[in-house]
Structure 1
Amino acid sequence: MMESDNTSNCNHEKEEHESSSHSTPQEHRSFAEFAKDKLDSAGRELRRRLPMAGLGAHLMHPRRLLLHSTPTQQTDVVLIFPKGLPDSMLLWLLQKLRGSRPRLRVCVRQHASSQCSAFYITADDDVLLQTAEEIHLPMLLKPEFGGGYKEFTVRDMHCFQRGSSAAELLSSQERGALVKHVLESARAEPGDERALEPALTLRPGQSIVPACVSRGVVASMFPLHERTALESLRKKWVKTLFTPQPLDEISEYFGVKIAMYFAWLGHYTQSLTVPAVVGFVFWVWLGTANDYWKDIAYVLFSLFNVLWACVYLETWKRYSNVLAYRWGTLDQRDELLVEPRPLFQGEMGTSEVTGRPEPQYAAWRRRVWRHCVSLPLMLLCLAVAGLATFALLRTQDWWEETIYYFSWIPRAFLAILIAVEEEVYARIARWLNDKENYRLETKYENHLILKIALFQFVNSFMSLFYIAFYLQDMDKLKEQLAVLLITRQIIGNLKESALPYLIENMRLAKMCFDVFGAISPSKIPTAAQLTEVFEKKTSSSGDPPEMLINGTEKEERRYSDSLVGQKIIHQAELESQLFKYDGTFAEYLEMLTQLGHVVLFSAAFPLAALCALLNNACEVRADAFKLCHVAQRPFGERVSSIGSWQHAMEAMVAVAVLVNCALIGLSGPVHRLLPDATPAQTILVIVALEHVVLVIVLCLRLAIPEIPAWLATEMAKVEFQRREAIKNAHAPLLSEGTSSDDVRFSSRTTPRTMTPTTPKQNDKPVDKKRINIGKISEIPPFS
């Protein structure tokens, strides 16, 4: 047997040598591909001659496991529990999830690499479809029904474009979100208070799974990646630099909220090209111009930055509305019709709007806490941060005047202080926000944005305000702005992408060593073999095998080993080692600070926009790399815009008007351009300039409509087609009801109309083999 292997290897080497001797790499392939083939050939020869070299291959290329891991079938959401969690808690949670209405399909397994238990969760198609109707999931209608988006209903499932079954109608991102919704609907009942003690004390009516996630009873909860779609995104999105982002594919795979962030980041980056070019020209021209023209250019460049920021924000509003219309989120449901967030606390009662069970919390209690606790504590934190920064800046001035040497020490202390203050205050802000107990996720996030963005503004720009208005040193302001802008960008990219990538590779390398030892990833079974394993195991019962919580030898692994001959790692087990994606909050906050550096003091450093442009060109791909390679797949969310970040940027532009006008007055251009003006006249000129700029900004906002004309025409066209569908007696018709369920861009501009009625029995029926509508029971929002 060994002789035959050696003979085959020799023949293979001979063929490679003959092919390489008769043709050159330039004739058939690129140099990179030729070098890769040679390296792979050398690696195979090294592993043949030295078997232990396989361990080095694991340590060098641990991410190959992502391609060779066993696909986890019939699973939408995975719950990972910390090591050592008592079996009694696992059994209680398992009973709660399996006994919930609607019923979930839960498979219990134990991961070999981490010795952690996990729940592999999915739901039947009828449950998913009924949940999609419950959460009013919008879907595209077929053209014969008028087109556009309409909230999904089971009775009208044949009217939507994708198909007539759950497998066709629901994407993997939507399936994960629906299963998550069902998981969050499982609530504690009277008598369940002590089931998870001492880790967690439940309250009747509290959502069980989100509470477990927040208190560490559940280590992580994530949907599984879809390999084909993920690989497509990696090729079209991560590995390309100068091609447009595939926003529709991002929305389909990661959800509208993440796609909206990347659309905003791309639009912001493209818009930065204008101030970057103008700032570069201004910076070059300053070296040759005289003082008179320098002062004029300084004033014009300051005003240009403010007006550019205003135009950019208004054009983004238009573009975001176009994207929201394309993705079916342009008109969200009324807040009173949206179900409360899972961590919303209160006594269980009946909703006055829907009549369903829902936690009740008095609004006056939230207002009392917000005004009596949150506001004073926020002001105290802002005062402490401002005084600490001011003290360190004064220390820095004293150090430079007396000691001279090692002037970087106080600046390093300032950078450390800013980072520590941001981390501490972020924890305080989240605690305050939790205590305020907002009913909706959007309200919760908006108030958190207000708290953290305000502190970030004071903490990040305190030193710049001190230098600009207290020291009035423009040269030092330019130096400080350049240092802050460049260092924050470099550190941010390293911390967000490079460091997590290295740490994750170390985790995967350890997993390789624990599970495979010195076996190379090249020995892992092929995808066809693994599919054959799964099909043989599920052919008899149709369900995936269920594992014991504390089983010593897993049947699934024994079966796979005996059939394929090698150990395997499941996709879910591998993805549990990836970093959890914390959402877009930190990314928005970083870009908001960057925008402040560009528009507030950019006249002192004209290259600020150019530095921001170069950073964001890398930031788009770095964030995409983090999502596609480093992080677990996040749950998809539907939003209509970027929310309060738009208001935060508008506030930043308003402050920029005041700051730039004040800098024009303090830095000297007005005094040099108007040498005979008195101080009172100078102040009047600055105030008049400020009011003129504010009026121009207001006029720009009014002149640029938020809804493009073509979009309004398209919405009117869709509405007209739906009316015509009602009139057409021979066309298939939708179920009865008003168009309040339809996705419109504004109730002020789109009149209410009646939607068509349901087709009769002789029309195209629903495939009852795929889903039995009559057996779908009503799903209450909370169990």
Structure 2
Amino acid sequence: MDSDTLISGNNVKEENGSSSNSTPGEHKSFTEFARDKLDSAGRELRRRLPIAGQIGAQLIYPRHLLLQSTPTHQADVVLIFPKGIPDGMLLWLLQKLRGSRPRLKVCVRHHASSHCSAFYITASDDVLLQTAEEMHLPKLLKPEFGGGYKEFTVRDMHCFQKSTSGGELLNSQERSALVKYVLEAARAEPGDEHALEPAMTLRPGQSIVPACVSRGVISSMFPLHDHAALDSLRKKWVKTFFSPQPLDEICEYFGVKIAMYFAWLGHYTQSLTVPAFVGVVFWIWIGTASDYWKDIAQVLFSLFNVLWACVYLETWKRYSNVLAYRWGTLDQRDELLVEPRPLFQGEMSVSPVTGRPEPHYPAWRRRVWRHTVSLPVMSLCLAVAAGATFAILRAQDWWENTIGYFNWIPRALLAIIIAIEEEAYVRIAKWLNDKENYRLETKYENHLIVKIALFQFVNSFMSLFYMAFYLQDMDKLKEQLAVLLITRQIIGNLKESALPYLIENLRLAKICSEVFGALSPSKVQTSEQLAELFEKEKTSEPPEMLINGEEKRRDSEPAVGQKVIHQAELESQLFKYAGTFGEYLEMLTQLGHVVLFSASFPLAAACAALNNAAEIRADAFKLCHVMQRPFAHRVATIGTWQHAMEAMVALSVLVNCALIGLSGPVHRLLPDATSAQTVLFIAALEHVVLISVVALRMAIPEIPAWLATEMAKVEFQRREAINAAHAPILSECTSGEDIRSRDVTPPTPRCDVIVTPDRKKINIGKIPEIPPFS
């Protein structure tokens, strides 16, 4: 035996002897005792099977590696470039970003693990405050100034909460959104057309960074995570299954748009408990009732589901308005005052509203394209999808009735064709939407929702309509609906969360292996050694090259003989969050399954409620553990998805009334009725339900009375605060130009230093004033 084996054998004997004479109580804690045992077992395993030590260490520690990585300071937004990008492009982009107004701080770094270059971008507090005023960012006022949200102005900075400094006033989500706004403001000038060729050709006035992201010159752009806030969300949101969602913390960290989605999903899931309970009762009752009562139950349950869906949508409107008021987005600015989306194309001209240069695109050209190209292409795609699905369903019936063997072949063919159609149609819909060239991001997304939701409706419900109205087979419809609800939800959750999490762990394990080198059996670190290594990396400050002329830290250089793993480098390997579009589309399809064919499968709402309870935590897990941090967006509602759900409810009235007429309850309940009388009865029932739906919408106001009272109260307090503070502030002004009328927020002295109530001075530099908003 060699010396290494003898030494390892002696170590094992010493460990076994010491462990046999000790108890868990003699150790500091049971956790440490168990960890020592696991380390001992791991060393023995590595002695017997060396490769196991490498694989185990690389797969166990990647998530620990992400959490314990060295924080990346002086960076709010990171731009990652693909490998092999020419240095000339990087230098040109660097020059453009450095020359932007207001000025950004740009740091160039090289990621050793991916061999990619990156720009780490931030801005000073003065620049961010100026940008917040330009973006009309709403912030909370102090109670003595009336409270509530008001668009931020530098001149009135002392009136806002946490206004001691710019660093306290703006959280990490707002800082990254402001830096992104400045990045998107950098536009190509005449003479820049060929600067990025052959990758892309720029047009004068085009926003440079978004165009580079869309064409792959910039592989990704993301804000960095705040580990303290993220860890708090993981504890309060991901790990607590039955606790309410911390919506305010979600809004503060991820922005209003994502928080609004989770608020809607939670409200929808909670509302589903009502039809779920009623559906279970009806399902039990139908199992023991006679045919006469089964028919009555089917009619009553169909009408109940339609009325429930209407009430649910109206209550969500009220709740969303409450949330929008709480998060400061209830009163959105006029569309003409909102900046155009970065990829909006047009000839540069001066805006007649703001007086600033921005692209202009004639509306008639958009309408011509939409009616002559988009509408015919969409209609053709929908017709092809419906025809292909119908043909395959007919072939499936023929196969089952004639051949009888390998019945899975036509089903598999249908699934493959649907997947191909969806992929092709999404590309076509995005191309059409890009050609329509909408000025605002909300308009662009709303029209894309219409295009894709229509196609998804045909793909998802064509088979159900075929069984319900062509075959008129309620048993087959019930079976198909149950299979779709259960299998789609399970596969969707696995595909959205579990699979990306596994792939990401493999990526991080690869980085761990590259940074720490090949882990031989004699060099595999224990958990204590890894923790000590991370602490050394945290405390060390290696040099860094800052292109703007300041010496900072360079992530790719080792610290005190150790290789460092920085936060930004690891987060660049995470998946990019695709937004809430796919999540809403999935839930819209589920709502259709619940309300369109509810009579055939009363347990549909119960299955949907159970799925959504897990969906909330799965989506939360995906955001907090798997994805890069997304940029925040401010919205007042869920947008066109609300209208899509209202259209689904209106359609459910027609479908359920038609099912009642075709499936037999009317004929059995009214055996003497003729066909004409049956049609008249169904039409009358349909009109009664539609009138009831309209009456419910009119009876339930969108803004609760208490919220209207609260809004009026805050406005009154703000006016009183303005009147109380008007005279003293006017006496401090040194220029007659600062005098304003009493119906606006009073200005502060025109100077380069803001004096807060506690007399602390904040240097904000010379920033051009913008009239305050009240």
Q: Which amino acid aligns with 2:540?
A: V
Q: Deviation at 1:617?
A: 0.9
Query: Contact 2:657–2:682 (CA<8 Å) still a contact in 1?
Result: yes
Query: Contact 1:109–1:546 (CA<8 Å) still a contact in 2?
Result: no
Q: Which runs of structure 2 are paired with 1:253-272 in the superposition (5 Å)?
A: 253-272=253-272
- Give the Cα separation in 2 of the matches to 1:306 and 1:155: 53
Tell me which of 531, 534, 537 is aligned to 2:541. 534
- Give the Cα separation in 2 of the matches to 1:405 and 1:7: 65
- Give the Cα separation in 1 of the matches to 2:284 and 2:27: 49
- Give the Cα separation in 1 of the matches to 2:283 and 2:429: 40
Equivalent residue of 1:317, what SS?
A: helix
1:467 matched to 2:472? The reply is no
Equivalent residue of 2:285, what SS?
A: helix
Q: Which residue of 2 aligns with 1:357?
A: 357
Q: Deviation at 1:514?
A: 1.6
Tell me which of 704, 725, 744 is aligned to 1:754. 744
- Give the Cα separation in 1 of the matches to 2:213 and 2:705: 46
Tell me which of 602, 608, 611 is aligned to 1:612. 608
- Give the Cα separation in 1 of the matches to 2:590 and 2:455: 15
Deviations 1:648-683 (A, max 9, x none): 000000000000000000000000000111111111
1:691 matched to 2:687? The reply is yes
Q: Which residue of 2 aligns with 1:660?
A: 656
Q: Which residue of 2 aligns with 1:592?
A: 588
Q: Which residue of 2 aligns with 1:20?
A: 23
Tell me which of 753, 764, 767 is aligned to 1:773. 764
Query: Contact 1:164–1:766 (CA<8 Å) still a contact in 2?
Result: no
Q: Which residue of 2 aligns with 1:645?
A: 641
Deviations 1:398-418 (A, max 9, x none): 001101112122112112222
Q: Which amino acid aligns with 2:151?
A: E
Q: Which runs of structure 2 are paired with 1:97-246 in the superposition (5 Å)?
A: 97-246=97-246
Equivalent residue of 2:121, what SS?
A: strand
Deviations 1:54-108 (A, max 9, x none): 5521123322211221111110000000011111111111111111111111111
- Give the Cα separation in 2 of the matches to 1:529 and 1:693: 69
CA RMSD of aligned residues (A): 3.1
CA 256–520 in structure 1, closer or farther in 2 if over 3 Å, else same = farther
- Give the Cα separation in 2 of the matches to 1:584 and 1:472: 36
- Give the Cα separation in 2 of the matches to 1:316 and 1:41: 56
CA 732–437 in structure 1, closer or farther in 2 if over 3 Å, else same = farther
Q: Which runs of structure 2 are paired with 1:291-330 in the superposition (5 Å)?
A: 291-330=291-330
Q: Which runs of structure 2 are paired with 1:366-765 in the superposition (5 Å)?
A: 366-517=366-517, 518=519, 519-520=524-525, 522=527, 523-524=529-530, 528-534=535-541, 543=550, 545=552, 557-558=557-558, 560=559, 563=560, 565-729=561-725, 753-758=743-748, 764-765=755-756
- Give the Cα separation in 2 of the matches to 1:658 and 1:346: 44
Query: Contact 2:126–2:765 (CA<8 Å) still a contact in 1?
Result: no
Q: Which amino acid aligns with 1:317?
A: K
Query: Contact 2:39–2:526 (CA<8 Å) still a contact in 1?
Result: no
Query: Contact 2:128–2:175 (CA<8 Å) still a contact in 1?
Result: yes
- Give the Cα separation in 2 of the matches to 1:165 and 1:17: 60
Q: Which amino acid aligns with 1:451?
A: K
- Give the Cα separation in 1 of the matches to 2:349 and 2:757: 37
CA 366–19 in structure 1, closer or farther in 2 if over 3 Å, else same = farther
Q: Which amino acid aligns with 1:707?
A: I
Structure 1, unmatched stretches of 5+, are 548-553, 737-751
Query: Contact 2:164–2:756 (CA<8 Å) still a contact in 1?
Result: no
Q: Which residue of 2 aligns with 1:39?
A: 38
Q: Which residue of 2 aligns with 1:748?
A: none
- Give the Cα separation in 1 of the matches to 2:263 and 2:125: 32
- Give the Cα separation in 1 of the matches to 2:677 and 2:514: 77
Q: Which amino acid aligns with 2:580?
A: T
CA 240–19 in structure 1, closer or farther in 2 if over 3 Å, else same = farther
- Give the Cα separation in 2 of the matches to 1:410 and 1:231: 48
- Give the Cα separation in 2 of the matches to 1:220 and 1:603: 47
CA 68–233 in structure 1, closer or farther in 2 if over 3 Å, else same = same
Q: Which amino acid aligns with 1:720?
A: F
Q: Deviation at 1:39?
A: 3.1
CA 535–481 in structure 1, closer or farther in 2 if over 3 Å, else same = same
Q: Deviation at 1:284?
A: 1.3
CA 123–357 in structure 1, closer or farther in 2 if over 3 Å, else same = same
Q: Which amino acid aligns with 1:776?
A: I
Deviations 1:553-591 (A, max 9, x none): x8x623x1xx2x421111111001000001000000000
CA 693–355 in structure 1, closer or farther in 2 if over 3 Å, else same = same
> Which segment is superposed worse, 433-442 or 530-539?
530-539
Query: Contact 1:418–1:460 (CA<8 Å) still a contact in 2?
Result: no
CA 79–757 in structure 1, closer or farther in 2 if over 3 Å, else same = closer
TM-score of the aligned structures, taking structure 1 as reference length: 0.90
Query: Contact 1:144–1:731 (CA<8 Å) still a contact in 2?
Result: no
Deviations 1:142-180 (A, max 9, x none): 000000000001111111112321110010011100000
Query: Contact 2:163–2:169 (CA<8 Å) still a contact in 1?
Result: yes
1:341 matched to 2:331? The reply is no
Equivalent residue of 2:23, what SS?
A: helix
Q: Deviation at 1:622?
A: 0.7
Q: Deviation at 1:732?
A: 7.6
> Which segment is superposed worse, 754-763 or 265-274?
754-763
- Give the Cα separation in 2 of the matches to 1:285 and 1:732: 74
Q: Which amino acid aligns with 1:39?
A: L
> Which segment is superposed worse, 440-449 or 281-290?
281-290
- Give the Cα separation in 1 of the matches to 2:635 and 2:19: 55
Deviations 1:102-155 (A, max 9, x none): 111111111111101111111111111100000000000000000000000111
Equivalent residue of 1:728, what SS?
A: helix
Structure 2, unmatched stretches of 5+, are 734-741
Equivalent residue of 2:348, what SS?
A: strand
- Give the Cα separation in 1 of the matches to 2:271 and 2:639: 20
Query: Contact 2:276–2:606 (CA<8 Å) still a contact in 1?
Result: yes
Q: Which amino acid aligns with 1:614?
A: L
Q: Deviation at 1:510?
A: 1.3
Equivalent residue of 2:557, what SS?
A: helix
Instruction: Work out the number of aligned pairs and report it.
Output: 747
> Which segment is superposed worse, 754-763 or 387-396?
754-763
Q: Deviation at 1:769?
A: 8.9
CA 397–73 in structure 1, closer or farther in 2 if over 3 Å, else same = same
CA 44–236 in structure 1, closer or farther in 2 if over 3 Å, else same = farther
CA 405–209 in structure 1, closer or farther in 2 if over 3 Å, else same = same
Equivalent residue of 1:717, what SS?
A: helix
CA 102–8 in structure 1, closer or farther in 2 if over 3 Å, else same = farther
- Give the Cα separation in 2 of the matches to 1:653 and 1:690: 13
TM-score of the aligned structures, taking structure 2 as reference length: 0.91
Q: Deviation at 1:240?
A: 1.3
- Give the Cα separation in 1 of the matches to 2:184 and 2:466: 48
Query: Contact 1:68–1:521 (CA<8 Å) still a contact in 2?
Result: no
- Give the Cα separation in 1 of the matches to 2:579 and 2:122: 24
Equivalent residue of 2:540, what SS?
A: helix
